Amino acid sequence: MAAIPALLPSTAFRDQLRRRGGESAARCYQCATCSSVCELAPAARPFPRRQMLLAQWGMADQLAADPAVWLCHQCNDCTVRCPRDARPGDVLGAVRSLAIEKLAFPGFLGKLVGAARLTWPLLLALPVLFWVTLLGLTGRLTPPAGLEAGWAYDALVPHSFIYAVYFPVAAWVILASWVAGRRFWTALGASGPRSGSFLGNLMPALVEVATHKRFGSCGAARPRKLGHLTLLWGFVGAAVTSGLLIVGMYIQHLPMPLALDHPYKILGNVSAGLLIVGAAILVGNRLGDRKAAGASSAFDTFFLSVVVLVIATGMVVELARLAHAPSFALSSYILHLGFVLCLFLTFPYSKFAHMLYRTLAMVHARMAGLEKR
């Protein structure tokens, strides 16, 4: 006789789920309306009905290894149609935040960011305090005298400082993301066999991420597609611009600051514009119909708030330089560098990590034959 697998529900998980905004899971009575109206769920393994049951039971390990948790894009068609107001979209959003915390490396950082409602001041203030301390110890908390119009920010904060901080941070983020991603990929593999090439299935998944094709199937939250898409491409454009500036400074030996009509500057400003539009749409969406948009947990709001702070201080930094206001520019630049550092450091542990886990879940779904084509 085959052994009956043990079910190990976690009351702690259910308590955490309630604190993250998933308390409505208790109202689900398994009518399957959510799965029947979801345009993204594959017919062979529809969601989120099963995931709602696992959430009620407190099956943390099963949910952390379930690709459906990430194939859900929180369209909230299910939430709008649910006859019991169990809000499946919000429940799966809370599950994703707990999955990020469970898979995080190291675990205490996952818990620190996961408890954003309590740790916001710490997460935002420490990176800013770091830059204040670094510049204070090196005698750079006041702008040098005699700055002429057209000065560059290297005169306030040397590029060597930027590289000495952000290159190690980037290396750490890659390491933490790799370890967490491997944990998730291994857990996904235990749910069923996969076939085919990882890279061969990665490219179609990346194309889908880049175009946000799945959002086109959503109804209630379709307006969110433009916000997510513009924010994504704004970040991509900003990253490309940063790379081009390094090339421009050290290979092309371009004089800094660049003129406003230089192609690199235009790309940077267009990217900033996309970030502004994307953030504005998402903030407006959060302030609109809560049922269609989804509830705003501290975990969600923290990430969006950091993005808004990075964008706002970045705009102020550029305007302050154009206005030739070195003291105000330095203060703004310190805040900007701190918020950017916060955004980077929390990437593996915040909602930013959706990019990693959702992409891996999409690749797994294709390799396991679960993808809805």
Q: What is the CATH number of the domain that holds 152?
A: 1.20.950
Please give the Cα distance from 299 to 20 (Å, whole number): 8
Q: Kindly state whether residue 1 falls inside one of the protein's structural domains.
A: no
Q: Among all chains, which residue has been given the structure tokens 């705003």?
A: 296
Asked if 98 and 220 sit in the same domain, the reply is no
Indicate the number of domains in the chain: 2
Residue 217 belongs to domain spanning: 107-367
Q: Which of 81, 103, 125 corresponds to the end of one domain?
A: 103
Asked if 203 and 72 sit in the same domain, the reply is no
Cβ neighbour number for residue 125 with a 10 Å cutoff: 13
pTM of the model: 0.89
Asked if 184 and 233 sit in the same domain, the reply is yes
Asked if 210 and 307 sit in the same domain, the reply is yes
Please give the Cα distance from 208 to 217 (Å, whole number): 13
Asked if 195 and 51 sit in the same domain, the reply is no
Q: Kindly state whether residue 6 falls inside one of the protein's structural domains.
A: no
Cβ neighbour number for residue 85 with a 10 Å cutoff: 10
Which phi and psi angles does 39 have, rounded to 5°?
Answer: -85, -10
Q: Kindly state whether residue 3 falls inside one of the protein's structural domains.
A: no
Q: Kindly state whether residue 66 falls inside one of the protein's structural domains.
A: yes
Please give the Cα distance from 218 to 212 (Å, whole number): 11
Token representation of residue 204: 């179609």
Q: Which of 74, 103, 132 corresponds to the end of one domain?
A: 103
Q: Kindly state whether residue 196 falls inside one of the protein's structural domains.
A: yes
Asked if 205 and 302 sit in the same domain, the reply is yes
Q: Per-residue pLDDT tens, the chain, 373 aa: give them.
A: 445 455 556 778 888 888 888 888 889 999 999 999 888 888 778 899 999 999 988 888 888 889 999 998 888 888 889 999 999 999 999 999 999 999 999 999 999 998 877 888 899 999 999 999 999 999 999 999 888 877 889 999 999 999 999 999 999 999 999 999 999 999 998 877 899 999 999 999 999 888 888 777 776 666 678 888 899 999 999 999 999 999 999 999 998 888 889 999 999 999 999 999 988 888 887 776 665 556 667 788 888 899 999 999 999 999 999 898 999 999 999 999 999 999 999 999 998 999 999 999 999 999 988 765 4
Please give the Cα distance from 249 to 365 (Å, whole number): 43
Please give the Cα distance from 55 to 74 (Å, whole number): 16
Asked if 159 and 294 sit in the same domain, the reply is yes
Asked if 34 and 126 sit in the same domain, the reply is no
Q: Kindly state whether residue 308 falls inside one of the protein's structural domains.
A: yes
**Which candidate, 345, 259, 352, places its Cα nearest to that of 307?**
352
Q: Kindly state whether residue 279 falls inside one of the protein's structural domains.
A: yes
Q: Which of 103, 123, 152 corresponds to the end of one domain?
A: 103
Asked if 99 and 118 sit in the same domain, the reply is no
